[in-house]
Structure 1
Amino acid sequence: MIAALRIVFVLAAFLVLTLSLLPVQLLALGFGHSVMQRLPRWWHRLMCRVIGLRVHVRGSLALERPLLLVANHVSWKDILVLGSVADVVFIAKSEVRTWPVLGWLARLQRSVFVEREVRRKTGDQISEVSSRLLAGEVVVLFAEGTTSDGNRVMPFNSSLFGAASAALPFAPGGVVHIQPVSIAYTGIHGMPMGRYHRPVAGWPGDVALGPHMLRVIRDGALDVEVVFNEAIPFDAATDRKKTARLVEARVRDGLSAALRGKFNA
């Protein structure tokens, strides 16, 4: 009974909050007002509280621009978590655009949708991401290309760093800054979340979205660590593949430290 009431409460809060802010966001998008970049952060922050995501931030967002955030990807909740701590836009796979509710929300927060398998569209997609970077927006890239179980970081796809390369000729000083970010789900209801219980938070691609969302809403009270590592300067002389491996290693180190409870002291 309590679980059912919680689901009703979260869904009602989602509707009230979203429908209240929707006209403002639509107007901001229509007129190109800067509030269109800030409003999603307010929405994400409130939804994290409603669902019960307790976000703990380690380090800070880099001040340098252009700035590309590269993070591991555990769940759809990563969007809420990162969106609650910074004004960001996300790079999403094209199929997200057609998802019920989530796709609509992704469009409202101006996500960049990419079709990674369609090579003839790659240039246009990279151009859009690089233009966002050059406009001073902070862009988030989930470089694994899919979600994991939350216990590990899967290999990064170096081709996804193409937008950073494309922005270099127009970036101040010919440098784009890449900041590794680690996302770790570490606790549930105030208790440490062990390796075998982390699938409660994780959303691997073979798990149905609807039942997983309902389970998260029903359980709530998840602790999430967001670890901002030091930004890495990326210029024309930088090897893209080596940079991808370096960023991957730093994201993995941050995830490992958070899962071991290094930041709890």
Structure 2
Amino acid sequence: MRAWLVIVPVLLVTLVGIPLQWLSVALKLPTRRSLPVLYHRIVLALVGVRVRVVGAPSPARPLLIVSNHVSWLDIPVLGSRLPLCFVAKSEVAGWPGIGLLAKLQRTVFVDRSARSATARVAGEMAERMGGGDPVVLFAEGTSSDGNRVLPFRSALIGAARQGMGAEGAGATIQPLAIAYVGQGGVSLGRARRPRLAWYGDMDLAPHLMEVLRRGAVDVELHFGEPLPAGDRKAATLRAERAARVMLAGALTGRSA
């Protein structure tokens, strides 16, 4: 019952928001950035997700936020904090409903099976960043069980080089760790945390319904110190190490 009490108002808000956001994107209105933030905040309030932010998004532009990835919840959690764009696998564009929402968020889609697509995606990322929008890249290339950070991939982080500022400096890279720390007012341990994670070959609908049924999710966003773009492989390794340290601190309660 609780799941449907969440789904119905979320659908109503979505149906109202879609034409407003479509018009905002089509006409390039300032609301194309603010409407998604408002939408995600409403969704989180309805689901019962509480977000704690440690650190802050860098004010530097162009900005590439490099993060671990745990769940579909990552999207509204991050989207509720500031205007931004995501990078997602091309399959997402074809998902019913979700694909449309992703497009209205001005998501950059990448076909991982085509090496030649990297240049196009890098160009789109640079365009978003050059226009003042932070871009979020889930650098692991997949989602995890929430207890660890998988190795970051360096290919798309090279796009930061193309996000050139007015003075010719490469885009700033900021590491981020997403940590799911509690549910129902109880701290999540290593064994229970994967219940919130959406990874592997899990079906989306059953997982979504289970999360909505339980609700009361506590999640932390840990923003690390910004890094210069530099060599993409070195920058990738530094971002991965920073995310791993921040996640470990959040999950053990030793973070700030």
Bin of the TM-score, shorter chain as denominator length: over 0.9
**Counterpart amino acid of residue 14 in structure 2:** T
**Does residue 20 of structure 1 match 2:16?**
yes
Q: Give the aligned partner of residue 139 of structure 2.
A: 143
Q: Give the aligned partner of residue 167 of structure 2.
A: 172
Q: Give the aligned partner of residue 229 of structure 1.
A: 224
Q: Bigger shift: 217-226 or 100-109?
A: 100-109
Alignment partners' CA distance in 1, 2:105 and 2:240 = 26
* Unaligned residue ranges in structure 1 (runs of 5+): none
Q: 1:37 aligns with which of 10, 14, 33?
A: 33
Deviation track 1:179-219 (CA, whole Å, cap 9, x = no partner) reads 10110000011111000000111111211111100100101
Deviation at 1:99, TM superposition (A): 1.2
Q: Give the aligned partner of residue 184 of structure 1.
A: 179
Q: Give the aligned partner of residue 68 of structure 2.
A: 72
* Unaligned residue ranges in structure 2 (runs of 5+): none
Q: 1:46 aligns with which of 42, 45, 65?
A: 42
Alignment partners' CA distance in 2, 1:102 and 1:172 = 38
**Does residue 126 of structure 1 match 2:118?**
no
Equivalent pairs, count: 256
Deviation at 1:59, TM superposition (A): 0.7
Deviation at 1:262, TM superposition (A): 2.3
TM-score with structure 1 setting the length: 0.93
Q: Give the aligned partner of residue 246 of structure 1.
A: 238
Q: 1:114 aligns with which of 110, 115, 127?
A: 110
Q: Bigger shift: 136-145 or 198-207?
A: 198-207
Q: 2:211 aligns with which of 194, 207, 216?
A: 216
**Counterpart amino acid of residue 248 in structure 2:** S
Residues 114 and 245 (structure 1 numbering): CA distance in 2 closer, same or farther, change over 3 Å?
same
Q: Give the aligned partner of residue 255 of structure 1.
A: 247
**Counterpart amino acid of residue 135 in structure 1:** G
Identity %: 45
Alignment partners' CA distance in 2, 1:171 and 1:216 = 44
Report runs of 4+ in structure 1 exceeding 4 Å deviation. Answer: none
Alignment partners' CA distance in 1, 2:222 and 2:239 = 13
Alignment partners' CA distance in 1, 2:16 and 2:93 = 22
**Does residue 94 of structure 1 match 2:86?**
no
Alignment partners' CA distance in 1, 2:99 and 2:139 = 20
Residues 175 and 166 (structure 1 numbering): CA distance in 2 closer, same or farther, change over 3 Å?
closer
3-state SS, counterpart of residue 11 of structure 2: helix
3-state SS, counterpart of residue 192 of structure 2: helix
3-state SS, counterpart of residue 224 of structure 1: strand
Q: Do 2:196 and 2:211's aligned partners in 1 also have CA atoms closer than 8 Å?
A: yes
List aligned pairs for 1:188-203, cutoff 5 A: 188-203=183-198
